[in-house]
Amino acid sequence: MKKSSIIHHPSSITLNIPTKVGIFDSGAGGLTVVKSLMEHGLFDEIVYYGDTARVPYGTKDPATITRYALEALEFFKNFDIDLLVTACNSVSAHAIPELRANAGFPVYGVIEPGILALENAGLPHSSRILVLGTRATVGSGRYQRGIKELGFENLQALSPSLFVPLVEEGIFEGAILKSTLDYYFKEIPSPDAIILGCTHFPLIADAIRDYFPNRPLLIHSGEAIAQHLERNGCKPGITEETKLTIFASENPDALKQIAKKWL
Ligand code: DGL
């Protein structure tokens, strides 16, 4: 029997509110999603698993990413979770159907919520949209297809691969970051909105936004999935203190140290 809070409403409808979520990422980056879920107070308990031994996923092919994701799913089956969120955009781009077919509990990716967050922002369809993600995410075309279906035609997708190691090094500002931003962005016109389609990019969100003089709207996977879960039955503020347990395929202590810094 799954652990969940049972809320009795006056109308005598009984709702089961999920209280324990599994968060999966290729490494540390998914902690940005953990942070948003904690800020929204959506879950009593978060079980986080980062596949630190095999990060990055964003440079790997779809079959490898799917195999790794299915292995992580087996790990989560030990924890009686109510639902699983794949914080990793690269996994969300390639492995959601396979995860859903094998999970036995709901599985959410972050791409659909990111696209819905753009829709909810209410920008005119003439707006210029920039999608940033790993090679695996951008190569899947998932964001691009979804955004075009919303009616946005003025769209560009980029894989600024050097952002991931910079964030892993804790470089969130300064000259190295500035010249890396220049390297990727100097030729492109200022976007009106940017999809931060990689777990690591929220940590350099300010630098990305400030690079462009018009300070574009940023869509952050963590915020997008938190709002999406709220629309799908999770209740904000069910807890003020979320219990977080962190697992990693290699060096969990290093991941716990990063969590202390980032959260
Ligand atoms: N977590 C990955 C993502 O959001 C970024 C890091 C990686 O390449 O594994 O796509």
Q: What is the CATH number of the domain that holds 84?
A: 3.40.50.1860
**Pair 98, 15 in one domain:** yes
Which pLDDT score is estimated for 51?
Answer: 97
CA of 91, closest atom in ligand 1: 10
pTM reported for the whole predicted model: 0.91
Q: Does position 99 have pLDDT exceeding 90, yes or no?
A: yes
pLDDT digits (tens, 9 = 90+) for 107-142: 999 999 999 999 999 999 999 999 999 999 999 999
**Pair 232, 104 in one domain:** yes
Which value, to the nearest 10 degrees, does the dihedral of the CA atoms of residues 7, 39, 132, 211 take? 150
pLDDT digits (tens, 9 = 90+) for 24-68: 999 999 999 999 999 999 999 999 999 999 999 999 999 999 999
pLDDT tier at 5 (50, 70, 90 boundaries)?
A: very low
| C-alpha 142 – ligand 1 centre gap (Å) | 15
Which pLDDT score is estimated for 120?
Answer: 95
CA of 58, closest atom in ligand 1: 8
Which pLDDT score is estimated for 235?
Answer: 86
Domain boundaries, position 167: 111-221
**Pair 92, 162 in one domain:** no
**Pair 22, 83 in one domain:** yes
**Pair 41, 79 in one domain:** yes
**Pair 228, 204 in one domain:** no
**Pair 34, 126 in one domain:** no
134 CB less than 6 Å from ligand 1? yes
Which pLDDT score is estimated for 212?
Answer: 97
114 CB less than 6 Å from ligand 1? no
**Pair 32, 162 in one domain:** no
Cβ-Cβ contacts under 8 Å for 253 (sequence gap 6 or more): none
Instruction: Give how many domains the chain has, as a whole number.
Output: 2
**Pair 132, 98 in one domain:** no
| C-alpha 128 – ligand 1 centre gap (Å) | 24
- Helices and strands, number each (H, E), in the chain: 12, 11
